């Protein structure tokens, strides 16, 4: 079944097509949810909420861009709504324990993706959200600021702090491995 046939079936609220759409995309989107959630149950809840929105709004998909990208955007927006503007706080974590280390990309290269995602999940909520949106999803600081209701400078600051914390965690992990 083509993607277009699948979408048209979902627009007609055909249960078979809806199940097939979920089967095709749920795994990839759960990975996205895991980047924004603290644990798997929370990620699964986000995924369920997001797919309800996908099915409710599928008739609005205009066949102009990537369907998977359209779903991903709904998933990310759903994850972000879990963190209302009121609960989104700029964490004031003392970085004195994390000296200014040069950000060297090769420090990440040896890590398995799963290990890196596990470390990212340990970041404070605000740092994790900004890191995921900028580094993994590719959003600009202006877009992140608009999405989260924060200043661009806050987005930049939290990204720098997230990277420093992540680098320190990786260095600690390397020390343990030696």
In a domain, 73, yes or no: yes
The reported pLDDT for the residue numbered 100 is: 43
Q: Is the pTM of this model over 0.85?
A: no
Q: Are residues 66 and 133 in the same domain?
A: no
> CA angle at residue 169 from 36 to 173, to 5 degrees?
120
Regarding whether 136 and 105 lie in a shared domain, the answer is yes
Domain C-terminal end among 81, 110, 127: 81
Give start and end residues of each alpha helix (H) in 37-140.
40-57, 67-81, 106-109, 113-121, 125-131
**How many separate domains does the chain show?**
2
Range of the domain at 154: 95-177
Confirm whether 120 is domain-assigned: yes
Task: Mark the ranges of the chain whose per-residue pLDDT is less than 70.
Answer: 83-111, 177-178
Whole-number pLDDT of residue 107: 45
Place of tokens 């992140």: 144
Examine the domain organization and report whether 109 and 167 are in the same domain: yes
b or e along 11-44 (b: 16 or more beta carbons within 10 Å of the residue's beta carbon)?
A: eeeeeebbebbbebbbeebbebbbbbbeeeeebe
Tell me, yes or no, whether 151 lies in a domain: yes
Q: Do residues 17 and 10 touch, judged by C-beta distance below 8 A?
A: yes
pLDDT tens for 131-170 read: 999 998 899 999 999 988 899 999 999 999 999 999 888 8
107: domain CATH number is 1.10.10.10
Residue where a domain stops, chosen among 81, 115, 138: 81
Backbone conformation region of residue 88, classed left if phi is above 0, alpha if psi is from -120 to 50, else beta:
beta
């Amino acid at each position: 079944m083509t993607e277009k046939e699948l979408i048209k079936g979902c627009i007609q609220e055909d249960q078979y097509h809806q199940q097939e759409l979920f089967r095709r995309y749920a795994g990839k989107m759960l990975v996205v949810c895991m980047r924004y959630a603290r644990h798997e149950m929370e990620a699964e809840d986000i995924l369920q909420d997001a797919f309800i929105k996908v099915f409710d709004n599928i008739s609005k998909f205009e066949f102009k861009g990537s369907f998977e990208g359209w779903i991903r955007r709904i998933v990310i927006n759903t994850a972000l709504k879990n963190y209302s503007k009121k609960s989104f706080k700029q964490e004031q974590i003392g970085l004195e324990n994390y000296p200014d280390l040069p950000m060297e990309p090769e420090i990440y290269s040896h890590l398995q993706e799963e290990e890196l995602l596990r470390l990212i999940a340990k970041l404070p909520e605000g740092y994790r959200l900004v890191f995921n949106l900028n580094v993994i999803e590719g959003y600009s600081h202006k877009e992140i600021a608009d999405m989260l209701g924060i200043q661009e400078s806050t987005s930049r600051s939290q990204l720098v702090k997230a990277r420093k914390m992540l680098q320190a965690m990786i260095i600690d992990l390397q020390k343990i491995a030696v």
